[in-house]
């Protein structure tokens, strides 16, 4: 364990399952509610906004910081994913987090799992179609965190909208005794969605990256005008950014199917030289139920 100043109190850093279970047991015995903010670290304002939400609804806030190997595929950026626990601890403490749970991979996965979780059809589109097994790995770590922390509420950002939909389905389908809270995407002043991977962008790519958001807004207007959003967005991005378009899709939300009714999600991914950026916009379609 370690401690960082947190106003007049201290943020506690827990690295073992044993110590976490002891903390949760004591907290539950005291009758305190727990809010969980799962992260992979290298915190930004998006993560801090989730802490703010959790503080408003719970007596205690736990942030997990764990770069989960189960959700990275071959040749992805697991080894070079940015890590800085000391920096993160200071930011989390300043935001009012009570506990950081920062285990090692060996602590979380002491043996090869005999039981496999599958995200199912919700993972057959968007990032799931491009990253086979990714969301199975997300479900693995989230399920473990839910059991270990026993939160009353857990907080996830809408930038990872497919992940959010899959986790909401997990909680509903298997009756997890907690509520999922959605946090709005936090953006830079120029519209770029906050992401730990933004540090990978070159200076030129950083100047181009706000066009992802602009393309989504263009696409939304195309959808509402009964025009081809994918075609419009593709032409715009090919003109404005040097990165390669990975996908652009219009789906229903949160069902993530092509029968778009009521609430729609327009999502994209663009691969730059060292960073794959995702973004989305969720909006109602008038006249649909």
Q: Kindly report, residue by residue over 204-238, the tens digit of the pLDDT.
A: 999 999 999 999 999 999 999 999 999 999 999 99
HSE of 67 in the Cβ direction (CA atoms, 13 Å)? 17
Pick the CATH number of 2-183 from 3.40.190.10, 3.40.50.2000, 3.40.50.620, 1.10.3720.10: 3.40.50.620
pLDDT of residue 48: 97
- 174 Cβ contact partners less than 8 Å away, ≥ 6 residues apart: none
Average pLDDT score, the chain? 95
> How high is the pLDDT of residue 6?
55
User: pLDDT tens-digit profile of 129-181?
Assistant: 999 999 999 999 999 999 999 999 999 999 999 999 999 999 999 999 999 99
Beta bridge partners of 12: 3, 99
Positions at the binding site: 40-47, 71, 157-160, 163, 186, 194-197
Q: pTM, whole model, 2 decimals? A: 0.94
pLDDT tens digit sequence for 229-238: 999 999 999 9
Model pLDDT, residue 3: 56
CA dihedral (237, 245, 257, 170) positive or negative: negative
What is the second-level CATH architecture of the domain 196-280? 2-Layer Sandwich (3.30)
* Spatial distance between the Cα atoms of 78 and 131, rounded to a whole number of angstroms: 13
Can you say which residues are annotated as belonging to the binding site for (R)-pantoate? 71, 163
Q: In which band, very low, low, confident or very high, does the pLDDT at 289 lie, cut at 50, 70 and 90?
A: very low
pLDDT digit string (tens) for 2-28? 555 555 457 999 999 999 999 999 999
- Domain-wise residue ranges, the chain: 2-183, 196-280
pLDDT single digits (tens) 89-119: 999 999 999 999 999 999 999 999 999 999 9
Report how far apart, in Å, the C-alpha atoms of 224 and of each of 214, 228, 251 are: 16, 10, 14
Q: In this model, does residue 55 exceed pLDDT 80?
A: yes
**8, exposed or middle or buried, with CB in 10 Å at 0-12, 13-18, 19+?**
exposed
Residue 17 has a pLDDT of 98
Annotated catalytic residue: which of 47, 134, 211, 258? 47
pLDDT for position 8: 47
R_g of the chain computed on alpha carbons:
19
Determine whether 47 is an active site residue: yes
CB burial class (10 A; 0-12, 13-18, 19+) of residue 245? Answer: middle
CA count, 13 A, side-chain hemisphere, 236: 21
Beta strands of the chain (E only): which ranges? 2-6, 9-14, 34-39, 60-65, 99-101, 153-157, 179-183, 244-252, 263-271, 276-284
pLDDT in the model for residue 75:
84
């Amino acid at each position: 364990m370690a401690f960082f100043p947190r106003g007049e109190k201290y943020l506690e850093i827990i690295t073992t399952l044993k110590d976490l279970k002891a903390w949760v047991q004591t907290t539950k015995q005291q009758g305190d509610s727990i809010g969980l903010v799962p992260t992979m670290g290298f915190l930004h304002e998006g993560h801090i906004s989730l802490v703010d939400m959790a503080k408003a609804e719970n007596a205690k806030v736990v942030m997990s910081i764990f770069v989960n190997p189960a959700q990275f595929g071959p040749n992805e950026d697991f080894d070079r994913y940015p890590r800085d626990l000391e920096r993160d601890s200071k930011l989390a403490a300043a935001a009012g987090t009570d506990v950081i749970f920062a285990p090692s991979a060996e602590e979380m996965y002491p043996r090869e799992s005999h039981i496999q979780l599958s995200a199912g059809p919700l993972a057959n589109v968007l990032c799931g179609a491009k990253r086979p097994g990714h969301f199975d790995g997300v479900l693995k770590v989230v399920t473990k965190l839910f059991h270990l922390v026993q939160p009353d509420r857990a907080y996830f950002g809408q930038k990872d909208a497919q992940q959010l939909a899959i986790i909401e389905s997990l909680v509903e389908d298997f009756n997890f005794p907690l509520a999922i809270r959605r946090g709005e995407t936090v953006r830079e002043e120029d519209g770029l969605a906050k992401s730990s991977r933004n540090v990978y962008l070159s200076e030129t790519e950083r100047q181009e990256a706000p066009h992802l958001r602009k393309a989504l807004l263009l696409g939304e207007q195309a959808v509402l005008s009964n025009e081809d959003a994918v075609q419009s967005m593709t032409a715009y991005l090919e003109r404005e950014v040097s990165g390669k378009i990975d996908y652009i899709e219009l789906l229903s939300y949160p069902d993530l199917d092509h029968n778009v009714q009521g609430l729609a999600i327009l999502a994209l991914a663009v691969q730059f030289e060292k960073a794959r950026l995702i973004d989305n916009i969720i909006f109602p379609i008038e006249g649909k139920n």
